[in-house]
Amino acid sequence: MARPDIPITVIGGYLGAGKTTLLNRLLREPDGRRLGVIVNDFGSIGIDAELLAAASDSGVINLPNGCVCCSLGNDLMQSLGLLRDVEFPPDQIVIETSGIADPLAAAAWGTSVGFAPGGVVVLAAADSIGRQVKDRYVSAEVRRQLAGADLIISTKLDLCTPEQLQQALDVLDEHAPGVPIVDGLAPIDLVLGLRLGSGAGPTAANPSAEHGQARYSRWSWSGTTVAAGRVVGLADAMRDMLRLKAVLDVEGHHLEVHVVGGRMSVHEVRGLRAGSRAEAILLPDDADGEALLVRLSAAFDALQS
């Protein structure tokens, strides 16, 4: 049986933005996923000795939690091939790009055979992003990174006053209009996409209320077989979604729908259990969030009527 395509998520951001901190968090809290992480150097992510299970001759390091790491070296294609071809391949691959690289170049591999796009996550240090976008030497790289992001994680919030943080958010809005912005404590399934089947109802967290960050609202839905003619109306309901993943049982054929940072993709999948289900993460303010949840629930419920 053919292996499923492996989503590739790319983490970018200028030097000092916090990419290593995020990678360490992903490896320690993979949210039930078997992750494959590609980095320039194993030492850069500071894998603790007690976390190491084994290093194979291929250069792949196995961790006890099921995750695997691979050194980028000079050949990204070779590194991706190593992770794809291991006996137990990862559920998702995370690539850390260098601080001066364009993450979209690495993300392009998500369209190759055996892989799927998993989004571009760009980290931006709130205490320095304003200077970086104006710097004569680094502004081109920083602006390119922001423009290619599906999700921006604002870091170093503790080093900013509320006024400085607002200035940083204004800069990000200017150079990445429409791209969702979250803080460094964003849920793992927001950074990596959603995992179906948890059955969890809507929950919310507020990790950075002191900086005015909005709540993360979760929503889930499950149903049965739906008629093909009813699926069309979902597109409008799913606009403004930060992250959404749905499996729709359309008259016996399954469609997998992904929304990442406002971009939607749909493809057919096989071998799934009967029924339809969906989960989403939103980043609304209280008023708009309630309306968005109502709209989303009504649209999915209409599939069954």
Question: d(Cα 255, Cα 270) in Å, to the nearest integer?
Answer: 9
Structure tokens at 45: 């992510």
Q: Give the pLDDT confidence of 72-94 residue by residue, as tens digits.
A: 655 788 888 888 888 888 999 99
Residue 47 in contact with residue 148, Cβ under 8 Å? no
Average pLDDT (290-296) is 77
Residue 115 in contact with residue 5, Cβ under 8 Å? yes
Average pLDDT (234-247) is 74
Query: Domains plus CATH for the chain?
Result: 6-192 (3.40.50.300), 204-301 (3.30.1220.10)
Mean pLDDT of the residues in the chain:
77
Q: Are strands 115-125 and 6-13 parallel, antiparallel or unpaired?
A: parallel
Q: Which helix (H) or strand (E) holds 174?
A: helix 162-175
Say if residue 198's pLDDT is above 80.
no
pLDDT over 90, % of the chain: 16
Beta-carbon count within 10 A of 46 CB? 12
Of 55-69, 97-111, 157-171, the range with the lowest mean pLDDT is: 55-69
Q: Give the pLDDT confidence of 274-291 residue by residue, as tens digits.
A: 888 888 776 644 446 667
Of 230, 239, 282, 289, residue with least CA distance to 262: 239
Question: d(Cα 177, Cα 164) in Å, to the nearest integer?
Answer: 19
pLDDT of residue 10: 92
Say if residue 3's pLDDT is above 60.
yes
The Cα-based distances of 13 to 47, 67, 123, 173, 284 in angstroms read 21, 23, 5, 16, 24
pLDDT of residue 242: 67
pLDDT tier for residue 220 given thresholds of 50, 70 and 90: confident
Amino acid making up residue 64: P
Amino acid making up residue 249: D
pLDDT tier for residue 207 given thresholds of 50, 70 and 90: very low
The Cα-based distances of 144 to 13, 169, 172, 216 in angstroms read 10, 17, 12, 27
